[in-house]
Every structure is written in structure tokens, then in C-alpha cells.
Amino acid sequence: MRFRYVAVALVVILVVATGALYTVPADDFLFTPGQAKPLREKVRVEGARPASGGVFYVDVFVRRATLLEQLFTFTQPEGADVIPEHALLPSGTSEAERDRQNALDMQESERIASAVALRALGYDVGIEPTGVRIAGVAADVPAATKLETYDVIVGVDGSRVVTTDALREQIGRRAPGQQVQLTVERDGETIDVSVATLESPTEPGRAIVGIEVSQKADIDLPIDVEIDLGDVGGPSAGLPFALEVARMLGKDVARGCEVAATGELALDGTVLQVGGLKQKTIGARATDVDVFLVPVGENAQVARKYANRLPVIPVESFQQALRKLATVDLKC
């Protein structure tokens, strides 16, 4: 009889402990798959005459892991990845600040995607460069301790520089290892930062600082474009936004099929790397879309790993995405 009571007590303790572990948040975050969602009700374009088919964006659910999920990986949702807190929240950054920045990134992504799509369709889009936005800093370069994601570079060595080409040209004039002074806008302030250059791994002898950049600009669209994804944030829906704007204006980008895409867009149409490709690919696959467009390189490698039979099309630019969609053998 005593053994039974002890056994019951142990079971109760185990259940209570498990429940506590499942409700107590851990330090790390979880990335879990979302679903591919259609943009046809999210994008409104003046003078729309939609072509057939549909364009889908794919998001990732991000939340705090529980202690149970952190300790026992088998309790995590299928397709989940644990992301260290410091990878999402740099020192001194709160979750609320991250959410605000994601909202700003989404707004900028919508404007850039609209501009890229309209220019590709022959519209006259007013674009005035205002600076070079840092989209990412490599962890193993000197700049990692000096520059931050979302900084906007507006000058080099005291001279105003507001385009990505001008920035690359100015930095490329130095020998690898030399210092370069960058004028940076950060949190409403303008500061000067001295950064050591290093040699490009792909162009021997060329100096770089090890950052990924995109063009920041004032954009004047010739027609009204409205994009609203609610509380979804971040810049990674730029490519599907642009494809949907083109589809809404009669460009037959989907050819009657359901096309999912992910990728941040730069103002010149370049498709930039994004995060969460494992989860996005699983989400696109589960939604049974016909094809998945992703950035070339590492993003494409991850997508193919988890795509199973879902066709994956890697693209370098919006213009290339249009060409590939027009020529690939879509099966739908």
C-alpha cells in the first residue's frame, strides 16, 4: 500500500514538474513553420486587371521556447529550430523594439517591392537615394563590433555617400586592412565610425567591410499600391509582393498556377537572403503550392533539402524571377 502511495506521489510530482516546464519560458526562441498564404486579398493596386493564378507569401512563427522544449527536443513542434536569444535580440534590444523594427522593415519592403515591380513593368517611378541601409554584418569581421543591422550609412571619410554603388566604390579604393570612416545614422543620431577593411574572399585585393546592404530611398509611386499583412513583420516578403503587384497589373507571372516566394528585395531588384528557409519550405510544401521561388545560394540549398517534391526555383533578381516563371515548365 505504501508503495502505491509513493508511486502516485511520484507521478503527481512528475506531472506538476512537466506542466511547469511547459509553461515557463526559456531564454531561447523557436522558429516553427507557418503556411503559404495568398496575397490576392492583401494587395490592392490602382487600375488592377489581375492575371490568372496566385502568388503566396510564407511566414515563420517566432515565439519563446518553453523550458520543456529547450530541455527535450522531442517536445518541439515538427520542423522547429531553436534560435539563441542573442541571435534575435542583440544586447540592449527588447522584444518590443524588435517588433517595432520588424514593422518598419515590412513598410519599407512594401514600398521597395512596389517600386521594383512598377519599374519592371515600364512605369516611371521616382526614387531619390537617401542612404545605404545595413541589412546584416558578418560575425567574424572587425565591423561586427562597430556597425549594427539597421544602421544607415550616409558618408565615407566626410563625403556624402547615399548609394550602394558609391559605397562599394569608396571602400574598394582602399587596400585591405586600411581603416575607413563611415558616417552612420543610428537611432535618430548621426555618428562617425572608424572600421577596418579586409580582403574580399571572392575578389582578391579588393577591400570590403563585411556587411550586407540595401538602398534606402524616398520613393514616389505613379499609381496607388496598398499592401497589408496585418501584424506580419520583416522584409522577407519583398519578392512575393512585387510578383503580386505585377500580377495585379496583368503580368501573367503565375500562368494559372499557385506560386509561393520568399526573399528581401533591394531597390535595384536584387533578391537578398532571408531567414527561416527550413520552416518556410515546410510551410509552402504543406500548403501544396506548385512552385517555390527563393534567393540563390544558401537559401536555395536549405529549401531543396526540405522541399521533397516541391519544385524550387532559385533567383538572383526580380527580373530573373519574371524570366524563369515565363519559361519554366510549371505543372499545375
**Residue 118: which domain range?**
25-124+223-327
Rounded-to-integer distance, Cα 207 and Cα 173, Å: 7
| Contact in structure between 66 and 313 (CB atoms under 8 Å) | no
The CATH number covering residue 235 comes to 3.30.230
Rounded-to-integer distance, Cα 57 and Cα 258, Å: 11
Domain boundary among 218, 235, 254: 218
Domain boundary among 218, 241, 256: 218
Percent of the residues in the chain that have a pLDDT greater than 70, as a whole number:
86
Q: Are residues 317 and 243 in the same domain?
A: yes
Q: How many domains does one find in the chain?
A: 2
Closest CA to 236 of 119, 325, 105: 105
Q: Are residues 41 and 75 in the same domain?
A: yes
pLDDT digits (tens, 9 = 90+) for 207-240: 999 998 878 889 999 999 999 887 777 788 899 9
Across all residues in the chain, what is the average pLDDT? 85
This prediction's pTM:
0.78
Q: Are residues 232 and 113 in the same domain?
A: yes
The one-letter code for the residue type at 121 is L
Q: Label residue 99 left, alpha or beta by phi (over 0 means left) and psi (-120 to 50 means alpha).
A: alpha
Residue 56 burial (10 A CB sphere; 0-12, 13-18, 19+): buried
Q: Are residues 254 and 110 in the same domain?
A: yes
Residue 15 lies in a domain: no
Q: Are residues 248 and 322 in the same domain?
A: yes
Residue 5 lies in a domain: no
Whether the per-residue pLDDT at 157 is higher than 80: the answer is yes
